[in-house]
Amino acid sequence: MTSETENIDRIIEGCKKNDLKSQEQLYRNFYRAMMLLCLRYTKNEEDAMEVLNTGFYKVYKNINRYNPSVASLYTWIRTIIINSCLDFIKIKDRQPLQEELNQAAVVDLPPDVFTKMSAIEILRLVRQLPPATQGVFNLFVIEGYGHKEISQLMSISEGTSKWHLSEARKILKQLINKQENG
């Protein structure tokens, strides 16, 4: 066993005993990766921080359920944080869709558009999407989930998931064209 593994095991055991120093260490070890994840699903840093802290509260509360033979600690925490992001989106986006489209219209974004933009510019554009649309876009494009999984995670139909993805592409295309034509 490596010293890093022993350190993580010690932190987990401390968290199970509600040791504040262990909880702080766990938070610090995963803060950067999980904050970046939250920033992809929220409109601003304040919302991202709220989601992150809610997620870590759930991590501490459920640390006894963590099973290293099922998933790595990173994967387990990441799943909780993604679910916290989705919960946040559901709360922020309580406006039901008027109509669901069974088939999303395809809006093409040329791949070279993204190579011309920095990650920060792309994130800034994605943050301008409505919350549910942003959530579907992140889950589909960045996290690699399919529409069936997204529909289950977000409690929406597959058609709605496809609509949100189509809408995200359409809005992003408009924002990119607006930016390019300045």
pLDDT in tens, 68-116: 999 999 999 999 999 999 989 887 765 443 333 333 334 455 555 555 5
* Contact present, 80 and 58 (Cβ < 8 Å): yes
Q: What is the DSSP letter of 69?
A: T
Tokens 């109509």 found at: 99
Instruction: Show the tokens assigned to 6.
Output: 């022993």
Give pTM, 2 decimals: 0.64
Average the pLDDT over 145-158 and give the result. 89
Alpha carbon dihedral 125, 85, 56, 31, in 10-degree steps, equals -20
Instruction: Show the tokens assigned to 166.
Output: 């189509």
Instruction: Show the tokens assigned to 155.
Output: 């409690």
Hey, is 143 helix, strand or coil? coil
Q: Residue 16: pLDDT above 90? A: yes
User: Which domains are delineated in the chain?
Assistant: 3-92 (1.10.1740.10), 111-181 (1.10.10.10)
CA 13 to chain centre: 27
Q: What is the DSSP letter of 65?
A: G
Among 48-52, 123-127, 143-147, where is mean pLDDT lowest?
123-127
CB atoms within 10 A of CB 119: 9
Structure confidence by residue, pLDDT tens digits, 155-168: 888 888 999 998 99
* Contact present, 168 and 107 (Cβ < 8 Å): no
Q: Residue 1: pLDDT above 80? A: no
